[in-house]
Amino acid sequence: MSSSLIFSLRETCISFGKKEIFKDLDVDVHKGDFIALIGKNGVGKSTLMRIISDKQDLDQGELWKQPGLQTSYFSQHFDLKESNTVERELANVLKSKDEQYKIDIFCKNLVLDKFAAIRSLSGGQKRRVGLIKALIGESDIVLLDEPTNHLDLECIIWLENYLKSYAGSIICVSHDRTFLSNFTNKVFWLDRGNLRVSPSGFKNFDRWSVELFEQEARQLKNRKQFVNIEVEWASRGVKARVKRNLKRLERAKQLKEQLEKDESSYRKAISSFKAQVLKSGSDNSKFIAEFHKVSITYEDTAKKVLDKISIKIHKNDRIGLLGDNGTGKSTFLKALLGQIPCSHGTIKLKRDMRFSYFDQMRNDLDSNLSLKKILVPSGGDYLKVQGKERHVCSYLKDFLFDPSRSTDNIQTLSGGQQNRLLLAKVLANPQTGLILDEPTNDLDLETMDLLTEMLTNYKGTLLIVSHDRDFLDQTVNKILHFDGNGNISIFMGGYSDFLNHQEDKIIPKAKLLKKVEEKKSIEKIKSKLSFKYQYELEQLPNEIDNFQKKILEINNELKDTNLYLDNYDKFTSITKELTTLKDQLYQKEERWLKLLELQEKYE
């Protein structure tokens, strides 16, 4: 049974100046649609989202929406009142004071201090506040533009799970393939002026899009056969020059011209489509950098960011750096680049080792320069790319820029376009080592595919900081995991291999406690501890088991994806209860461990 229609566009036309964005575009959004909005930069993704959120008028066409429909829009630009605290800013979006608890849930899971002033937050933290504002009001349609930018993996996974049970409809633009695959159930693909719709979600996008391209190729082949027949007839001349034959001659000419345009369009589309990516192996014969018992401590804190780290980086290693924000990934890279000194230990680099560095802060882009001047600072129209001369306009096209914009000031570029330009600069002539710090932020999927392919063909040593799981799986074969306590662990493989290894290694705390219990003799404790502590220690295992059973029961209830929709009050109640039970279980487990330590002192 199909869900109800809540928004539609018919024969929509939008133009900016001479550029036509949409022509005769039809769009339908139904209740429960979780839509991945896909397309190259400039095809109209943001325009479509602005139309749905009432921020963009139609030049022509019909717009219908369900009466009382509410939308919220998380874009690259959002308004926050600097004098507000996080809590006050978010409270303004809530429908009633009874929903105040939602602020605690969002802030806890997206790692925000609700009492912090907006003006004191970093850019990434402000983005999180903007994201929460779009979600917390539970609009009928929520529009998300790159919601995972500047989120660490734990936050991204929590966001995925939240969106899976969202009560309204979602339209999301994201470069993160894994994120889109995990929660969407429909795809809107804006491709060469057409909206293609897949009803099976982004997880099947690659297979579905290949099928569409194959179908298009067959249609072009059949059209070409027909056009060749018409052109061949026309080339023989038109006897008697009758009006009917002249029309046929003109029609053959038009068909040939249109076919050539469509074939060119198809070739461009298929050339930018995702290539099959294979991981390169490592040449471990030599190491190019060695960390020997390296410790780094900043002056404003006594905590060591890196603590006695000893790691060798081998020639042609392809390394992904994983860890929550603030765990030392950027510090590790800056130490490798010689930008910050070690408090203790040494870092040795191979004598001729040089690194190209992509900085997520874009510090290497002078905002006063043009695109052309960034790529060719010495002047002229040519630059060397991988040792070959390339015209700057041709190279800009590789990174999906319109060559006519080569003389534009980079201040006119969006954040994603500036990232693309910096990548073009870094990848033109990468050194023997390449360091990329969050290169995928603000990129569209087309550029992601281009970047992935270029990195696959790169022959040097590669280090990447990224929270994009699919991207890491495609580009690296080794993981450095930063635990936040100054330690780094090494895992072979990509992100999925790392995750599987973690799941195999994790032993639930309750199981550890049971093992401890088996090794302890309750009879010894009875003779050494006071009766009060003795009784408490005897009762704690049963209490812990009861808490675990209650938590398991609630988790089983929450597996019902319809609970949130069918019985919101119950969902809210048991979610609160689950949080309380987990806190109480933790306290009981900690208490038991303390009593066991006390018992050891008496033995």
Q: Give the number of other Cβ atoms within 10 Å of residue 438's Cβ.
A: 20
Q: Which amino acid type is present at position 422?
A: L
- Angle of helix 568-602 relative to helix 531-558, nearest 10 degrees, comes to 150
Q: Is residue 40 within 8 Å of 397, Cβ to Cβ? A: no
Tokens of 327: 């765990």
Cα–Cα distance for residue pair 246/505, rounded to 1 Å? 78
Q: Is residue 133 within 8 Å of 116, Cβ to Cβ? A: no
**pTM for the whole thing?**
0.62
Tokens of 180: 């889109």
Tokens of 423: 């990548």
Beta bridge pairs of residue 347: 291
Going by C-alpha positions, the residue among 261, 266, 259, 264 that lies closest to residue 229 is 259
Q: What is the pLDDT of residue 541?
A: 81
* 133 Cα distance to chain centroid: 19
Tokens of 544: 């812990």
Cα–Cα distance for residue pair 495/465, rounded to 1 Å? 12
CA atoms within 13 Å, Cβ hemisphere of 265 = 12
Question: Model confidence over 424-455: pLDDT tens digits?
Answer: 888 888 888 999 988 887 777 877 888 888 88
CA atoms within 13 Å, Cβ hemisphere of 539 = 8
Q: Which amino acid type is present at position 186?
A: K
Q: Does domain 509-602 have CATH number 1.10.287?
A: yes
Report CA Rg, the chain. Answer: 29
Task: Map out the domains of the chain as residue ranges.
Answer: 5-205, 207-271, 287-505, 509-602
Cα–Cα distance for residue pair 177/202, rounded to 1 Å? 8
Q: Are strands 141-145 and 169-173 parallel, antiparallel or unpaired?
A: parallel
Q: How many residues does the chain have?
A: 603
Cα–Cα distance for residue pair 185/209, rounded to 1 Å? 15
Q: Are strands 304-314 and 186-191 parallel, antiparallel or unpaired?
A: unpaired
Q: Is residue 488 within 8 Å of 481, Cβ to Cβ? A: yes
Host H or E run for residue 172: strand 169-173
Q: Is residue 477 within 8 Å of 493, Cβ to Cβ? A: yes
Tokens of 397: 């096209």
Burial state string for 170-203 with b = 16 or more CB within 10 A and e = fewer than 16: bbbbbbbbbbbbbbbbbbbbbbeeebeebeebbb
CATH class of 287-505: alpha beta
Tokens of 413: 């570029």
466 burial level (CB within 10 Å; 0-12, 13-18, 19+): buried
Cα–Cα distance for residue pair 202/184, rounded to 1 Å? 6
Q: What is the pLDDT of residue 162?
A: 94
Residue 150: DSSP 8-state: T
Fold of 5-205: Rossmann fold (3.40.50)
Q: Which portions of the chain are predicted below pLDDT 50?
A: 1, 240-241, 273-285, 505-528
Question: Model confidence over 22-37: pLDDT tens digits?
Answer: 888 999 999 999 999 9
Going by C-alpha positions, the residue among 182, 223, 181, 152 that lies closest to residue 438 is 152
Residue 602: DSSP 8-state: H
Cα–Cα distance for residue pair 108/86, rounded to 1 Å? 12
Q: What is the pLDDT of residue 546?
A: 86
Going by C-alpha positions, the residue among 24, 29, 7, 15 that lies closest to residue 61 is 24
Tokens of 174: 């994201």
Summarize the chain as % helix, strand, coil (round to 5).
Answer: 45, 20, 30
Beta bridge pairs of residue 548: none
One fold for 5-205 and 287-505:
yes
Is the sign of the CA dihedral 331, 332, 335, 339 positive or negative? negative
Going by C-alpha positions, the residue among 111, 131, 121, 113 that lies closest to residue 82 is 121
